[in-house]
Structures are given as C-alpha cells and as structure tokens.
Amino acid sequence: MVLGEYQITAGPLEMTIAGNTIFPDPETTGVGTIYAGPLNDFMVTMVPPIPDWRLVETDRMQPDWYWDAAPSGSNGPGFFISSNDLEIVTACTIREMPRFIGSFQTQAQDGTPLDHTIRLVMAWRGSLIGSWRFTAQTPNGAISGLRYVIFERTTP
C-alpha cells in the first residue's frame, strides 16, 4: 500500500533563526521512492539527494498530529487543508489514518548538523501528507524550519 514511486511536493519553507522568522525557499518538487528495506522497514529515497531514511508506521494515539490551514499554520506555511477538513473529506479521523514518521540528518553549508523529522498521514490510497521539520543548534542560536510535504504516488 505504501511502496512505490512518488512525486514529492515540499511547501514553502518557514525558517526561524535566533527568533527571527524568514521565508527563504518557495515550494519545491522532486521525486522519491518508498521501498522495502531490511527487516521489512519502509525506506525512502528522495531527489534532490537526501540520505535514504527509514519511514515507520507509528502509534495513532499521539496527540500532535492535528494542524490548521492558516497561511502560517502549524503544519507548514501555505498548507492547503486543515486536519479537520481532511477528516470531513475522507470521512475518517486523523487517528484512524495510517501514520508514519521518519528522521534523518544532513549538514548545512557550514557543516552544522540539521536534524529532520517528517510526519505523514495516509489520507487516501497513494497520497501521504504531513510536515517536514528541521532543527539545528549553532553558535549564533537555534535554527528551525517547517514546511508541508505531499507524497503522491506515480506508479500503481
């Protein structure tokens, strides 16, 4: 149900640096594959190049999987649908939807490690939607980023 090729859309980036919010990147697109990894894990590969990362189905009772659709909403700026609207459209609660979480680390241009977390819900067959967050600690203070992300299957 999850394995396959995907078109990936990452919404505009909302970034906070030392308490100041900026919007440095517009919406971007790429491609990716969710494939079976060792021990039946789901693994994700994405282009532009990001290290392959493990995607794990997670406990549906976690409290932080709800979001709004405000221009700078809790799931990424410009996210087009709130969790309440998604529940109405799918006639299913967020807690009933398959939910996945993945994390990986990259490095900023200056070598600072960036910790990424992607949370996704399978709203309908072939579509995963959610948030992509990253955090880093630098000598100049904390950095965090948030954008929405949508995986749309391109293969049956």
Question: 97-131 in b/e burial notation, b at 16+ Cβ within 10 A?
Answer: bebbbbebeeeeeeeeeeebebbbbbbeebebbbb
Give the predicted TM-score (pTM) of the model. 0.86
**Which range of residues forms the domain containing residue 70?**
4-153
User: Do 120 and 142 form a contact (C-beta atoms < 8 A)?
Assistant: no
Type of residue numbered 16: T
User: Do 56 and 39 form a contact (C-beta atoms < 8 A)?
Assistant: no
**The tokens of 10 are what?**
């990452």
Euclidean distance between CA atoms 109 and 9, whole angstroms: 23
φ and ψ at residue 72, rounded to 5 degrees: -120, 60
The number of distinct structural domains making up the chain is: 1
pLDDT one digit per residue (tens) for the chain, 156 residues: 788 999 998 888 888 888 888 888 888 888 899 888 766 678 898 876 788 899 988 876 676 677 777 655 555 666 778 888 889 999 998 888 888 999 999 988 888 899 999 989 898 888 999 889 999 998 888 999 988 889 999 977
> What is the 3-state composition of the chain as percent helix, strand, coil, each rounded to the nearest 5?
10, 60, 35
φ and ψ at residue 40, rounded to 5 degrees: 60, 20
Euclidean distance between CA atoms 63 and 128, whole angstroms: 19
Type of residue numbered 53: W
